[in-house]
A and B are shown apart, each in its own frame.
Chain A
């Protein structure tokens, strides 16, 4: 049972434009959300996170928006750069969700075209 869903498995965007990645979750107990970035043959690296008490968190070119009522979050990358070409995973957790385990989505492949 997929508790975190990322549709649209791949996205192509021109360099300099905005990339928007979407993520939906089903477990209303989730209270912390994270985005990870993964290059081929490397481990995922943490990108940005948001607590359920906020609706927006920004870090440089990366902004995450959270809509709790819709159980939806999105990651905006502005402006997109070729180095942003990677797979992006959305993840979620909650206090009672098994010792800090994360529920991951299946990932979105982003290709930034120079």
Chain B
């Protein structure tokens, strides 16, 4: 069974703090993704990575950075948290390749509140 875990289910941070969200997958997947989910806006891709130390910007990368030092771990960093980054953050992973490999496996999510 594929397992994607995220370091926290709920997190409360203050404006201006540096925030680290950690994601770990145990299925040796090449690809990892960070999304945020907001009401009425669906799932929006922040960053993704297809290999160690590789990263690609998604649709809304502003205000975020990522780190992938090991294949199984993908970190999302909010350099200086702001209230508009209050959201549900979802990590996902998938294999490389086409067809069924497009399927992404999601973690349980981190509900981040920035006050």
Contacts and interface: CB of A to CB of B under 8 A. Distances in A.
B90 interface: yes
The interface size bin for chain B is 20 to 34
* A-side interface mostly: loop
Q: Which of A32, A98, A99 has the most CB of B within 10 A?
A: A99
Contacts of B107: 43
A106 B100 contact: no
Nearest to B6: A43
Contacts of A46: 103-105
B58 A105 contact: no
B10 to A, nearest CB: 9
A8 interface: no
Contact of B40 (A44, A89, A98, A106): A106
Given A101-B33, A102-B102, A102-B104, A43 B42 contact: no
A79 B31 CA distance: 35
Contacts of B64: none
Tier of interface size on chain A: 20 to 34
Contacts of A93: 102
Contacts of A89: 42-43
Nearest to B106: A43
Given A41-B109, A41-B111, A44-B90, A99 B42 contact: no
Interface of A: 6, 9, 31-32, 34, 36, 41-46, 49, 51, 89, 93, 95, 98-102, 104-107
23 contacts: A9-B40, A32-B98, A34-B102, A43-B92, A44-B43, A46-B104, A49-B102, A49-B103, A93-B102, A98-B48, A100-B31, A100-B96, A100-B97, A100-B104, A101-B45, A101-B48, A104-B42, A104-B43, A104-B44, A106-B41, A106-B42, A107-B42, A107-B43
Interface of B: 4, 9, 31, 33, 40-45, 48, 50, 56, 58, 90, 92, 94-109, 111
